[in-house]
């Protein structure tokens, strides 16, 4: 398949190489001169497992957005949606909260939409960037003409293993207004990359799943570190504690107790939480 990707930074560049490694023709664009130079020089300026071999074999081309749209069945948009510095999570939070900055995403999608409208080109536009629920409806859909099919398709990857995580995901999340048929571009692409499950839902739910996934991981890390502190204070072994909980593949490491509206069926959980506190 012919694939385009707008945004070749920490996420987009490894993903482009991963898609290309499975035999697809891919062209990319990034507005940053530094990123363009990295692509031309076949250099990725961040630590990333397994990327050197992909870079050596790569034929990834830079092309303006209009040329990407002209040749591609799918265009991925992988540009940043940053927070202001005080809300990036690396320092004490202020009293106020803000949404992400969507200006880069709006500019990127707008350029793709304008090219598709000018060419009367039918296109699947897949947004990867992290957003809050309602963003596609409010910020992105007004930019699109009827010949552009929108999907919200965020990836669950970690910096340093992006390409591998993309090719070996737990699942693929696709948010769209209508369920995609089996021969639609996105399902066809993913079937050519791996055999992992596709989870299809509406766009707003997909937007929330992405953020909920990251929040759940943060919640697990906070819990593990709280247990570590308690182990240190009482003289227990945190590694044995973690190993024991990891064996509980039914009630703890599983989908159980994740249904909305579920109540606690007895006194054990709240009394133990209160006592431990």
Which CATH number goes with the domain that contains 75? 3.40.50.720
Domain assignment present for residue 230? The answer is yes
Give the model's pLDDT for residue 246: 94
User: d(Cα 139, Cα 106) in Å, to the nearest integer?
Assistant: 7
Element (H, E) at 150: strand 148-152
User: d(Cα 188, Cα 175) in Å, to the nearest integer?
Assistant: 16
182, pLDDT greater than 80: no
138, pLDDT greater than 80: yes
Give the model's pLDDT for residue 203: 97
Give the model's pLDDT for residue 14: 96
Q: 123 - beta bridge partners?
A: 148
SS3 per-residue string spanning 152-185: ECCCCCCCCCHHHHHHCCCCEEEECCCCCCCCCH
Parent domain of 218:
214-276
What's the whole-model pTM score? 0.92
φ, ψ (nearest 5 deg) of residue 112: -65, -45
Domain assignment present for residue 209? The answer is no
Domain assignment present for residue 80? The answer is yes
User: d(Cα 63, Cα 72) in Å, to the nearest integer?
Assistant: 11
Residues 41 and 104 in one domain: yes
Domain assignment present for residue 22? The answer is yes
Q: Is 15 helix (H, G, I), strand (E, B) or coil?
A: helix
Token digits of residue 273? 């939480």
Residues 196 and 218 in one domain: no
Residues 183 and 255 in one domain: no
Residues 14 and 128 in one domain: yes
181, pLDDT greater than 80: no
Contact 79, 140 (CB under 8 A): no
Residues 163 and 39 in one domain: yes
Domain count, the chain: 2
Give the model's pLDDT for residue 265: 67
Of 49, 47, 115, 109, whose CA–CA distance to 78 is shortest? Answer: 109
Residues 114 and 218 in one domain: no
Q: Average pLDDT in the 252-271 region?
A: 83
């Amino acid at each position: 398949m012919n694939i385009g990707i707008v945004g070749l930074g920490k996420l987009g560049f490894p993903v482009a190489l991963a898609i290309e490694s499975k035999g697809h023709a891919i062209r990319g664009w990034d507005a940053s001169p530094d990123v363009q130079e990295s692509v031309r020089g076949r250099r990725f300026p961040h630590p990333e497992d397994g990327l050197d071999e992909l870079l050596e074999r790569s034929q990834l081309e830079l092309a303006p957005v209009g040329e990407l749209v002209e040749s591609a069945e799918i265009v991925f948009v992988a540009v940043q949606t940053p927070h202001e510095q005080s809300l990036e999570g690396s320092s004490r939070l202020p009293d106020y909260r803000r949404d992400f900055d969507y200006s880069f995403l709006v500019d990127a999608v707008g350029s793709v939409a304008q090219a598709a409208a000018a060419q009367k080109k039918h296109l699947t536009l897949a947004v990867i960037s992290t957003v809050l629920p309602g963003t596609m409806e409010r910020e992105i859909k007004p930019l699109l003409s009827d010949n552009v099919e929108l999907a919200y398709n965020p990836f669950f990857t970690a910096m340093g293993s992006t390409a591998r995580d993309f090719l070996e995901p737990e699942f693929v999340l696709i948010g769209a207004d209508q369920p995609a048929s089996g021969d639609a571009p996105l399902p066809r692409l993913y079937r050519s990359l791996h055999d992992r499950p596709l989870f299809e839902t509406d766009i707003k739910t997909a937007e929330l799943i992405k953020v909920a996934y990251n929040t759940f991981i943060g919640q697990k890390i906070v819990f593990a570190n709280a247990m570590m502190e308690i182990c240190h204070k009482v003289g227990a072994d945190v590694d044995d504690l973690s190993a024991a909980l990891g064996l509980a593949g039914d009630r703890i490491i599983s989908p159980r107790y994740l249904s909305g509206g579920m109540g606690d069926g007895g006194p054990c959980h709240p009394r133990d939480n209160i006592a431990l506190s």
